[in-house]
């Protein structure tokens, strides 16, 4: 009840520009969509992270992201889930591939002088390495994100 009265339900959302070989957007939402989930064993937080990229933002990935803190200026993160790649092959047939994705990296946060609407006055930069494939490493790539929000 207190988190609704204090307006904390607005703070856990993040929106950022991301690049991992293809430009796109990343959105982080609380695991329960209106309230963050504090992970009791390690003391961190779990959130949904959706990315939209490629032509007309047709490629989607979904990951559960873990970070030890929502307030430190420098911290690590880990995310795992799936990535979808839609493309047209040489024969002109639309193809869809979905595979396991694991990402590890670091994030930097800072307080911006101007608040971004009602969402947050925190901005940040995230960089990591993403692996596509569960057992075999099919494709490794660097990931860069810049945006607003605590995640």
**Whole-number Å distance between alpha carbons of 3 and 7:** 6
Which position has the token pair 């590890």? Answer: 104
Q: What is the mean pLDDT of each run of 10 residues along the chain (151 residues)?
A: 43 83 90 74 87 85 89 89 87 87 92 62 88 82 88 69
**Whole-number Å distance between alpha carbons of 148 and 146:** 7
pLDDT score recorded for residue 119:
57
pLDDT score recorded for residue 118:
53
CB within 8 Å of 138: residues ≥ 6 apart: 99, 132
pLDDT score recorded for residue 116:
54
pLDDT score recorded for residue 6:
40
pTM of the entire predicted model: 0.79
């Amino acid at each position: 009840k207190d988190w609704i009265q204090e307006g904390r339900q607005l703070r856990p959302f993040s929106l950022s520009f991301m690049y991992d070989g293809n430009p796109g957007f990343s959105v982080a939402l609380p695991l329960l969509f209106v309230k963050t989930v504090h992970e009791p064993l390690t003391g961190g937080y779990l959130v949904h992270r959706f990315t939209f990229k490629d032509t007309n933002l047709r490629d989607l990935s979904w990951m559960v992201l873990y970070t030890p803190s929502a307030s430190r200026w420098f911290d690590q993160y880990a995310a795992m889930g799936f990535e979808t790649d839609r493309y047209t092959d040489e024969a002109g047939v639309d193809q869809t591939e979905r595979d396991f994705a694991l990402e590890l990296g670091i994030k930097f946060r800072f307080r911006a002088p101007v608040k971004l609407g009602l969402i947050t006055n925190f901005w940040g930069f995230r960089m990591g390495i993403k692996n596509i494939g569960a057992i075999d490493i099919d494709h490794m790539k660097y990931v860069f994100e810049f945006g607003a929000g605590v995640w």
